[in-house]
Amino acid sequence: MDRTEAQARIASLRTVIARHDELYYRRAQPEITDFEYDRLKRELAEIESRMPELAGGESPTDQVGDDRTEGFATYRHRERMMSLDNTYSEAELREFHNRLVRLLGRDDLTYVVEPKIDGLAVSLTYEKGKFTRAVTRGNGVEGDDITANALTIRSIPKTLKHTSGAPIPAVIEIRGEIYLTLAEFKRINQQREEAGEVLYANPRNLAAGTIKQLDPREVAQRKLEIVLYGLGYCEPMTGLPGSQHDYHQLLKDWGLPGQERLWKTVGPDQTWKAVQELDQVRSSFAYATDGAVVKLDSIGLQREAGATSKAPRWAMAYKFAPERAETRLNAITIQVGRTGVLTPVAELEPVRLAGTTVARATLHNRDEIGRKDIRVGDFVYVEKAGEIIPAVIGVNTARRTPECVPYVFPSTCPACGTPVVQLEGEVAVRCPNDECPVKVRRRVTHFASKACVDIDGLGVAMVDALVEKGWVKSVADLYRLRRENLLTLGKNVAKSMDNLLAGIEASKQAELWRFVHGLGIPHVGAAAAKDLAQKFGTLEALAEAKYEDFIADKRSVIEGIGETMALAILDHFNNPKNRALVQELISLGVKPTVPVKREATSAALAGKTFVLTGTLPALSRDEATAMIEGAGGKVSGSVSKKTHYVLAGEEAGSKLEKAKSLGVPVIDEAEFRRMVGQSG
């Protein structure tokens, strides 16, 4: 590469990296993987190092990515908040140690190896032990003040505990990471899938996007977590630990959420062994980890080593290369969701990935297919986004053949032939036809499911048959079904049809929240449906609700229901068809019940928080939840220090491990029954 070519490549790389910085840091909507992004920055750094005379001006290799966004006040860090140099190479990690040996003039260096949690960097300020401010990293000098949103994270204490021998400084900045657990990420995506909405790509993007919501009430809907591990400005420093390892313990003594696993090592061999061990155990963590952070243990030596313009010299992030597989894309199929969203799915030649066989993967949306130029017949790269959802992340164009032509996204719904639409500001392409048979099937299946009115005998196959016959075009039509029609579905069906009709009749008196959930209102899941049922008491009252019934004086009237959900509910019932459906259901004999909240029947459960995991011997998850709530307790989806008990059955997963690591009591069904005063 001559000087002219290098100059052109530097300019091109800086432009491309700047665009991806905007997408990643400001919008939380990256278009490429971290691995691909790091490769671009590494190429730029290598060219600039070979030809330093061309490296003048501002370069992204010398800067911290800027996450500041409109709508937030900025706040200047008392001490710069830096990023980390990173590598995917064992050799470079060992060279990191060798550089420190040369710099510090000693080879007996001790390190702390920490899990690198994939989230959004943040700095918390405590003044005289009181939480005063939360600020994102921003550009390293100043960041967005997200204090109001951070207050929704329950694990952030308002006041530091005085249980440690070390005095609490007058002012201290404590650095860490805001993230979403894999379970919460899965829960949110399941809700979106039920609503026929586009799924989020990974936990990091969702966490970053959530904390930058302008309404804290919306932030509170998603259970963000935080881990703290770093020291920023501190005055005075007197009495603070002299090592990174002891600093981690101090954070826990103060009541702050810290790293659940650390390795203290001496020299490069032990350090590399610890990194490998972390790679083996990280799948058991409740959150996504994309690497290991290696830090000098001695804080004194950290100061002596100093920093570059963007990163400390005493720390290095070793990033685990993403596990990916290459396989052929045999076809692209289109799924139509309950709300009409058309989601493209890659039909793959089956391939092993992260311990499972993957035959299908999400392609997200029409724009993603075009941007990545994904074609049927291509050999594609597949990764598991957030270690959960298989996704196609790129194409091996070197193996592309002439038969692989650009994919043409359908202009009409594959189920009903209606021209598709794309709403302004959305990437989703939708079928607007409310009578589209696939949309009808999905709406009816959702309504009849155990999570909603629970109609026994009305499974997917039966719903398909009823819709195909034209007998069911809305959920109200279920209550118009007649025995004489159902008997025409086949021989010897009388008993099963009688059971189905009995199930439909019984569902007329299902609990109100089940009907609310079954209506498929965007953003309204089971928990919100229960809150709405308690507030309004009838379907008619909910359908007639006004804005002030949800939001008054810019505050939520109903805990857990913010403005976004309120507007979604109002928009749903502003549609005459949806209001008419409520009246239809009532006229057909639907009489939802609203159970009176029972007082706690056991002092052991009153005010207690439970987490359920695994399969219980006799109780379903819904039954156990009802018993807990009926006895005054609460059920949470994730384990934290505030969890009182984990009720575990067979095949309990990461929640059980998390409970053990936090010392949360784990009970079985027999013990649980004794607590609520039942036997057997």
Catalytic residues: 116
Of residues 77, 178, 167, the one with CA closest to residue 129: 167
Q: How far apart are CA 552 and CA 494, in angstroms?
A: 54
SS3 track for 604-631: CCCCCEEEEECECCCCCHHHHHHHHHHC
SS3 509: coil
Instruction: Decide if 67 contacts 25 (C-beta within 8 A).
Output: yes
C-alpha angle 134-136-138 in degrees, rounded to nearest 5 = 145
Beta strand 666-667 pairing with 645-648? parallel
* Residue owning tokens 């070793």: 318
Q: Six-digit token pair at 149?
A: 């949103």
What span, in angstroms and rounded, lies between the C-alpha atoms of 16 and 13?
Answer: 5
Q: What is the 3-state secondary structure (H, E, C) of 16-85?
A: HHHHHHHHHHHCCCCCCCHHHHHHHHHHHHHHHHHCHHHCCCCCHHHCCCCCCCCCCCEEECCCCCCCCC
Instruction: Give the three-state DSSP class for 316.
Output: strand
Closest C-alpha to 261, from 679, 532, 660: 660
CA distance 152 to 216: 7
Residue 384 identity (one-letter amino acid): K
| Contact between residue 126 and residue 162 where contact means Cβ atoms under 8 Å apart | no
CB atoms under 10 Å from CB of 455, counted, come to 25
What is the DSSP annotation of 399-426? Answer: G--TT-------SB-TTT-PBPB--TT-
Q: Give the Cα separation of 103 and 96 in Å (integer).
A: 11
Contacts of 57 (CB under 8 A, 6+ apart): none
CA distances from 637 to 39, 255, 532, 655 (A): 37, 22, 20, 9
Copy the structure tokens of residue 118. 């994939």
Neighbour tally for 2: CB within 10 Å: 7
Under a CB-based contact definition with an 8 Å cutoff, are residues 272 and 94 in contact? Answer: yes
**Closest C-alpha to 435, from 383, 470, 461:** 470
**Which two three-digit tokens encode residue 83?**
């990023």
